[in-house]
Structure 1
């Protein structure tokens, strides 16, 4: 029988499955990409990723925080509080993969797609 990989009590059939659990889906890698160069407030992320809903952004940020890829720092005791999101050291280890995905995306656009104005 083959061996599985275990992380935080979850079993995975391979490392690709583990990685996709951490960063897969429509939005997680996009959020990480927007945090790769600098920390951001929630509203900054909402403006940059305009197609994401507030609920989805909030949920995805929580999941990225739980997996240790993103940190959430709260400043202030009473409203208005300031909340800043940033990549953790662990999250920064994903930057080379993000850049490779971004470069591949540019290649796909160049060979098969085009650029259009956002709606």
Structure 2
């Protein structure tokens, strides 16, 4: 029976890597978590830091992060109401992961972009450039 090449790194559906990415892999979740690493923020402060995100999308991402236990939403009984978002202990535990993703992105994605490379390789160009066996 042939041995699988990377069997010890197998990550079939349901593995911890896939589960983690499904929790923090929303379109804006990683960036929201990054900004909350700096400290507690109000909704509009987050929105100003992410001008491309719609109010609805940001609200949904914050709700999901709260439901998954990564952030704490604190509502103060004031007029007008004040709502603040901060990282929970679970969210703070992602700090090394988020910083590692940022460092990897700076080293691999941003430098590739500066070199004129696209974010996603063009499969047709790869096929054209590949030698025919």
Q: TM-score, normalised by structure 1?
A: 0.80
Could you tell me how far apart the structure 1 residues matched to 2:84 and 2:62 are?
11
Residue of structure 1 in register with 2:124 after alignment: none
RMSD of equivalent CA atoms = 1.3
- Ranges in structure 1 where 5+ consecutive residues have no aligned partner: 1-11, 115-119
**Paired positions, count:** 102
- Ranges in structure 2 where 5+ consecutive residues have no aligned partner: 1-12, 115-133
Rg larger for: 2
Cα deviation per residue 1:38-72 (whole Å; 9 max; x = unaligned)?
01000000000111100000000000000000000
Residue of structure 2 in register with 1:101 after alignment: 101
1:82 to partner: Cα distance: 0.7
Instruction: List, as ranges, runs of 4+ consecutive aligned residues in structure 1 with deviation greater than 2 Å.
Output: 108-111
Could you tell me how far apart the structure 2 residues matched to 1:64 and 1:109 are?
25
Q: TM-score, normalised by structure 2?
A: 0.72
